[in-house]
């Protein structure tokens, strides 16, 4: 024992370090020999006794060497974004804009017949299509939200990149890539027009006409069968022309729009967007349908496989829109009240027609299904109005310009554009002359054919288009054939067939009667 007041001295016992390795290789442990701790096997063993074995639980084949480990700050350590794997510079909030457009309200169920297939996968594999998508997405966001600043730099970045691509191609027009050029110019024309820059859009449209003429000339040797590329080029031109002329017609019909557009046909985008946004909030012009068409536009201009086929569409929905538009114009012609914009644009049939036009394009990419409405008699409540997409859209354009007179403000169509329209329409009605004997298709066939002859007479009455004699003779011959086969020799009966599809009543009937008598007598 220790005496009180004295501290007890203690000593700490230290265990000697073991010289035997506790992490030796499995071979050395089995042989009960000293191991130098080398992994997976020590270097002291003879070569004949070495076995590259690890202890259980120590085998780590996926361990990354610390020298090549990823930097924690690297973007590759973060969760992968599906839009990070795109072959396009996604600077200036491009990913955010694409995410917005992908989940924006719209109709993408009709874009793919493959269940579960993301339609955006068709765009992500083509950088040019993706760039066009971003341009449309920025426009869609501005029109929907009323904000021009959030993605202004994004739009400018991709628009400049697109213009550089076009300028590079223009230095050598013999190089491949004409279809890419056509797609880019079509998108730029649409975007510039909807941004209030009508002058730039008109320049793009003229360039588009020349580019399509290089790909598919509209001369007297216009082929009866077009390749996929030629058909698409014509569709792009028809749709771009339709969108642009509809936009210009809205400007002419609105005093508020004319006030913000200068003499150079350019409006401040903020002023223009503010007016458009107010109209949308007031549900004027059914602009939601126009936004729906805008939502599908990138897929309209998407690259199709070479084996793609085009089928006839059911034009019933487009005809119904034209009937509503015609009835609206006839209603306002007797109304002395001034509307801004004009009542035909307030009612919204033109926006619905644009939407149905884009929708019909996707319908033409798949074979029509027999839903019980396809009959050659009058027993069907809603008979299918079968026709090609291009000829129906051309006939619609001629109807809006020549019969209704709401396009071009009374001016003539451009000669090159008019000849192409007539070529497409004449080829279609001449090839489908057998539809004369079909009770469900005869009226639509006659309506399209008569529009070809009527538009020629309308423009000739203005002193223009002197070089369309071959088209005039062809349409007159086809009208005469229809009259003989269907047993219709009086104008009042022929007029009833036109009205059955759609036709305005009034002063247009005088010229229409002259066209009928000229073709049948």
The counts of H helices and E strands in the chain are 20, 2
**DSSP at 64:** P
Residue whose tokens read 């749709």: 239
Phi, psi values for residue 34, rounded to 5°: -65, 140
Strand-pair partners of 261: 267
Mean pLDDT, 10 residues at a time, over the chain (521 residues)? 50 59 66 69 62 51 43 43 62 89 68 54 80 94 90 93 91 83 95 92 94 82 77 95 91 87 82 88 88 90 86 96 91 70 84 94 85 45 85 96 82 86 94 92 96 92 74 95 95 94 84 94 85
| Gap between the terminal Cα atoms of the chain | 145
pLDDT given for residue 380 in this prediction? 46
pLDDT given for residue 329 in this prediction? 85
Strand-pair partners of 386: 314
Among the listed residues 328, 386, 382, 322, the one whose alpha carbon sits nearest the alpha carbon of residue 354:
322
pLDDT given for residue 84 in this prediction? 52
Q: For residue 386, what is the enclosing H or E element?
A: strand 386-387
pLDDT given for residue 305 in this prediction? 81
pLDDT given for residue 78 in this prediction? 44
Mention every residue, 6+ apart, whose C-beta is less than 8 A from residue 202.
244, 265
Q: For residue 101, what is the enclosing H or E element?
A: helix 94-102
pLDDT given for residue 52 in this prediction? 52
Mention every residue, 6+ apart, whose C-beta is less than 8 A from residue 108.
119, 295, 296, 299
Q: 351-389, pLDDT tens digit by residue?
A: 999 999 999 999 999 888 765 444 444 444 567 899 999
Q: 76-132, pLDDT tens digit by residue?
A: 434 445 555 566 788 889 999 998 998 887 655 555 544 445 667 667 778 898 999
Phi, psi values for residue 452, rounded to 5°: -60, -50
- The pTM of the full predicted model, rounded to 2 decimals, is 0.79
pLDDT given for residue 75 in this prediction? 43
Hey, how many other C-beta atoms are within 10 angstroms of the C-beta on 345? 24
d(CA 134, CA 154): 8
pLDDT given for residue 332 in this prediction? 72
Tokens of 53: 């074995």
In order, the DSSP letters of 278-313 are HHHHTT-TTHHHHHHHHHHHHHHTSPPPTT-----E
d(CA 290, CA 305): 28
Among the listed residues 430, 418, 509, 506, the one whose alpha carbon sits nearest the alpha carbon of residue 456:
418
């Amino acid at each position: 024992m220790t005496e009180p007041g004295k501290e007890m001295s203690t000593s700490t016992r230290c265990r000697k370090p073991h010289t035997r390795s506790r992490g030796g290789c499995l071979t050395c442990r089995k042989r009960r020999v000293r191991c130098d701790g080398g992994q997976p096997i020590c270097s002291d063993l003879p070569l004949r006794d070495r076995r590259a074995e690890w202890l259980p639980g120590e085998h780590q084949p996926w361990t990354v060497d610390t020298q090549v480990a990823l930097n924690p700050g690297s973007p590759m350590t973060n969760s992968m974004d599906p839009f990070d794997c795109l072959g396009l510079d996604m600077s200036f909030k491009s990913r955010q804009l694409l995410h917005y457009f992908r989940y924006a309200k719209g109709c993408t169920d009709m874009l793919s017949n493959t269940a579960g297939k993301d339609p955006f996968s068709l765009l992500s594999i083509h950088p040019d299509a993706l760039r066009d998508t971003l341009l449309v997405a920025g426009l869609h966001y501005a029109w929907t939200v009323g904000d021009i600043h959030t993605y202004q730099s994004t739009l400018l970045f991709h628009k400049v990149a697109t213009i550089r691509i076009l300028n590079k191609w223009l230095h050598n027009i013999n190089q491949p890539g004409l279809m890419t050029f056509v797609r880019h110019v079509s998108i730029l024309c649409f975007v510039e027009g909807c941004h209030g820059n009508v002058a730039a859009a008109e320049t793009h449209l003229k360039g588009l006409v020349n580019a399509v003429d290089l790909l598919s000339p509209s001369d007297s040797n216009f082929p009866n069968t077009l390749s996929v590329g030629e058909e698409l080029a014509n569709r792009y031109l028809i749709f771009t022309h339709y969108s642009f002329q509809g936009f210009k017609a809205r400007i002419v019909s609105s005093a508020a729009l004319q006030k913000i557009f200068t003499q150079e046909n350019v409006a401040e985008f903020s002023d223009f967007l503010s007016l458009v946004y107010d109209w949308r909030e007031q549900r004027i012009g059914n602009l939601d349908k126009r936004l729906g068409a805008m939502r599908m536009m990138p897929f309209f201009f998407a690259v199709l496989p070479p084996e793609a086929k085009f089928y006839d569409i059911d034009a019933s929905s487009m005809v119904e829109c034209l009937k509503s538009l015609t009835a609206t114009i006839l209603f306002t012609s007797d109304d002395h009240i001034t509307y801004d914009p004009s009542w035909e644009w307030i009612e919204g049939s033109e926006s619905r027609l644009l939407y149905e036009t884009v929708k019909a394009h996707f319908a033409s990419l798949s074979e029509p299904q027999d839903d019980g409405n396809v009959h050659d008699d009058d027993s069907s409540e809603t008979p299918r109005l079968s026709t090609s997409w291009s000829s129906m859209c051309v006939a619609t354009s001629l109807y809006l310009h020549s019969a209704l007179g709401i396009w071009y403000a009374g001016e003539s169509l451009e000669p090159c554009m008019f000849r192409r329209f007539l070529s497409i329409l004449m080829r279609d009605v001449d090839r489908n002359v057998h539809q004369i004997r079909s009770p469900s298709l005869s009226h639509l066939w006659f309506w399209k054919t008569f529009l070809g002859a009527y538009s020629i007479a309308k423009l000739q009455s203005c002193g223009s288009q002197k070089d369309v004699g071959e088209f005039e003779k062809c349409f007159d011959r086809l009208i005469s054939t229809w009259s003989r086969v269907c047993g219709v020799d009086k104008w009042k009966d022929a007029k009833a067939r036109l009205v059955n599809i759609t036709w305005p009543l009034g002063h247009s009937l005088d010229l229409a009667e002259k066209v009928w008598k000229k073709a049948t007598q």
